[in-house]
Amino acid sequence: MNAELCGSFERLYETIKRLRGPGGCPWDIEQTPLSLRETLIEEAYETVEAITDGESGHVCEELGDVFLNAVMLGYMYEQEGSFTVAEALDGVSDKLIRRHPHVFGATEGFAGPDSAGRTDTAEKVLAQWDQIKRGIEGRTADSVLDEVSRGMPALERSHKLQKKAAKSGFDWASLDDIWPKVDEELAELRHAVSSGQAEAIEDELGDVLFAVVNLARRLKVDPGVALTRTNAKFTRRFKHVEKSMKAAGIPMTQDNLATMDRYWDEAKKMEKNKS
């Protein structure tokens, strides 16, 4: 066992315990699992951003914040007697071992492809994971789509829903079949816009986004990660436009769009030269 790792985790746990205990921090004491929901999501996204940027030091910092929120949440439930942090950690370790019989040995009640449950491809591993989840652990639902959390952001949830449906065989035969669907949904959106019906526009726009997410799935691209990357790119370029316009003494108004476009193209060229 890694003594340094154990010591580091115990230090975090004891720090949170002190913050939440008598004489601790008023803000930390006031927090509840409900109040930390947005913070947990925010820290996860900041970690994704750091990973995308390729800055290991930033990743280290943001992962620390994710650990902080996870352990803080666990300790809150420990305080109320629901479960302990140790039980949560042991539970996930047990699950990993149980769902990886090809690594840790046969899982009781599940033989798998052979007596040891060995697999030789990532696809077979995922299929085995689902078989154990449903067959051994009894994780069943009326629909496979019920397994997708309703608390996920819409973009990520649509991606997950499509992946679940595809596992059941409900999928396009090839990537070439999806392009016409995207074009079809765009045409329907244009028609809705021309009709001026707000509800129809919202409905058709949702269909366009869903079709594009489907395209991303078939291209093996996570749409949330891709959009996060584009958001960062837009931010960098727009900040260059702001800085350049300010230096030139030109106000950022619609009348000066041509100048802003020129600085935007300049930012794009600078990025290409760096790469």
Q: What is the largest CA-CA distance in the chain?
A: 74
For residues 11 and 82, membership in a common domain is answered with yes
pLDDT at 102: 84
Report yes or no on 194 lying in a domain: yes
In a domain, 173, yes or no: yes
Looking at the domain assignment, is residue 146 inside a domain?
no
**Across residues 157-168, what is the average pLDDT?**
94
Asked if residue 116 belongs to a domain, the reply is yes
Same structural domain, 9 and 88: yes
Checking if the pLDDT of 236 tops 70, the result is yes
Q: Which residues pair with 110 in a beta bridge?
A: 107
For residues 14 and 85, membership in a common domain is answered with yes
The domain boundary residue, chosen from 58, 76, 93: 93
The reply to whether 177 and 249 lie within a common domain is no
Of 80 and 129, the structure prediction assigns the larger pLDDT to: 80
Q: Is there a domain that residue 185 lies in?
A: yes
- Give the pLDDT confidence score for residue 123 in this predicted structure: 79
Q: What is the mean pLDDT of residues 163-171?
A: 92
109 has pLDDT over 80: no
C-alpha span between 152 and 157 (Å, rounded): 5
Total of domains in the chain: 4
CATH label of the domain that carries residue 157: 1.10.287.1080
pTM equals 0.65
Which helix (H) or strand (E) segment holds residue 213: the answer is helix 198-218
pLDDT at 114: 52
* Residue 134 is assigned to a structural domain of this protein: yes
| 3-state SS, residue 211 | helix
Which residue among 107, 140, 173 closes a domain?
A: 140
Instruction: Indicate whether 36 and 85 sit together in one domain.
Output: yes
Same domain for 269 and 199: no
Tokens of 247: 């230096």
Residues 87 and 43 occupy one common structural domain:
yes
pLDDT of res. 115: 44
Residues 97-107 pLDDT 10s: 988 888 888 77
Q: What is the model's pLDDT at position 171? A: 95
Mean pLDDT comparison of 104-118, 131-145, 157-171, highest-scoring range: 157-171
Element holding 65 (H helix, E strand):
helix 56-79
Lookup: tokens for 194 = 């021309």
Spatial separation of the C-alpha atoms in residues 82 and 263, rounded to whole Å = 57
What pLDDT is attached to residue 113?
57
Q: Residue 237: what pLDDT?
A: 97
Question: Are 164 and 242 in the same domain?
Answer: no
pLDDT of residue 62: 97
What is the rounded CA–CA span in Å between residue 155 and residue 226? 11
Asked if the structure places residue 145 within a domain, the reply is no
Residue 197 backbone class (left: φ over 0; alpha: ψ -120 to 50; beta: rest): beta
The answer to whether the beta carbons of residues 263 and 241 sit under 8 Å apart is yes
Assess whether 46 and 72 both reside in one domain: yes
Q: 216-221: long-range contacts at Cβ-Cβ below 8 A with a sequence spacing of 24 or more?
A: 216/159, 217/159, 217/162, 217/163, 217/166, 218/172, 218/175, 218/178, 219/175
* pLDDT score, position 3: 85
pLDDT in tens, 52-94: 888 999 999 999 999 999 999 999 999 999 999 999 999 999 9
Tokens found for residue 105: 């040995």
Q: Given pLDDT bands bounded at 50, 70 and 90, which one contains residue 111? A: low
Under DSSP, the state recorded for 135 is I
Whether residue 48 sits in one domain with residue 23: yes
pLDDT score recorded for residue 153: 87
The mean per-residue pLDDT over the stretch 195-213 comes to 96
pLDDT in tens, 10-48: 999 999 999 999 999 999 999 999 999 989 989 998 998
Percentage of residues in the chain with pLDDT exceeding 70? 95
Task: Please give the residue range of the domain that contains residue 114.
Answer: 99-140
Calculate mean pLDDT across residues 210-224: 95
Contact 206, 154 (CB under 8 A): no
Q: For the chain, what is the mean pLDDT?
A: 91
Do residues 81 and 106 both lie within one domain? no
pLDDT at 1: 61
Residues 229 and 217 in one domain: no
